[in-house]
Amino acid sequence: MENTESTTLLKRPTELECDVVRFQNQKDKWIAFVGLKDGRPYEIFTGLADDEMGIALPKSVIKGKIIKVVLPDGQKRYDFQFVNTRGFKTTVEGLSYKFDREFWNYAKLISGVLRYGMPIDQVVHMISGLEMDNDSINNWTTGVARVLKRYIPGEIVEECTV
């Protein structure tokens, strides 16, 4: 028999409100899109904040929506949509393809943990405890932990720009 509670947790709405958080580790500038369900982090997309290897957005963009798009062939992608300063909707298609595949896979794992409702402080503890062979990934995990700390009530967080 299927556990309906688990199915409900995993059923992602087509659209999720999203916070955009920028952070810097060493010389690298990063951007994180934190999808929120009922005001709680539900998923995260992260990568370098630049035109060539990631995504660049105006600094004024701090909120938006992550939209799940199912293509005719059944493949899925995630788009980011925000309202620009003139009031027009702007959509960045293929958010899920904008970032390095390795970071995408780790973020996908973290998103899975978030979807199942693990307490945010425990998610941060888990991420902070990861020891990777690559300095770039270690750099990234430090930033992701700082981003998610913002959602722990009463937590004082190092500088991250939203």
Query: Is residue 53's pLDDT more than 80?
Result: no
pTM: 0.85
Q: For residue range 61-101, list pLDDT tens digits in order.
A: 999 999 999 999 999 999 999 999 999 999 999 887 888 78
Mean pLDDT of the chain: 84
**pLDDT at position 34, please?**
97
Q: How large is the average pLDDT for residues 24-44?
A: 90
Mean pLDDT, residues 106-127 = 92
30 beta partners: 23, 48
- What is the CA 156 to chain-centroid distance, rounded? 20
For residue 151, pLDDT over 70 is answered with: yes
What is the H or E stretch that residue 110 is in? helix 101-115
Distance CA 50, CA 106 (A): 20
Residues 6+ apart with CB under 8 A from 44: 32, 33, 34, 35, 107, 110, 111, 114, 144, 147, 148
- Distance between terminal CA atoms of the chain? 43
Q: Label residue 103 by pLDDT band (50, 70, 90).
A: confident
The pair of three-digit structure tokens given for residue 11, joined into one six-digit string: 């059923």
| pLDDT, mean of residues 23-49 | 89
pLDDT band with cut points at 50, 70 and 90 for residue 154: confident
Return the CA Rg of the chain.
16
144 versus 9: the higher-pLDDT residue is 144
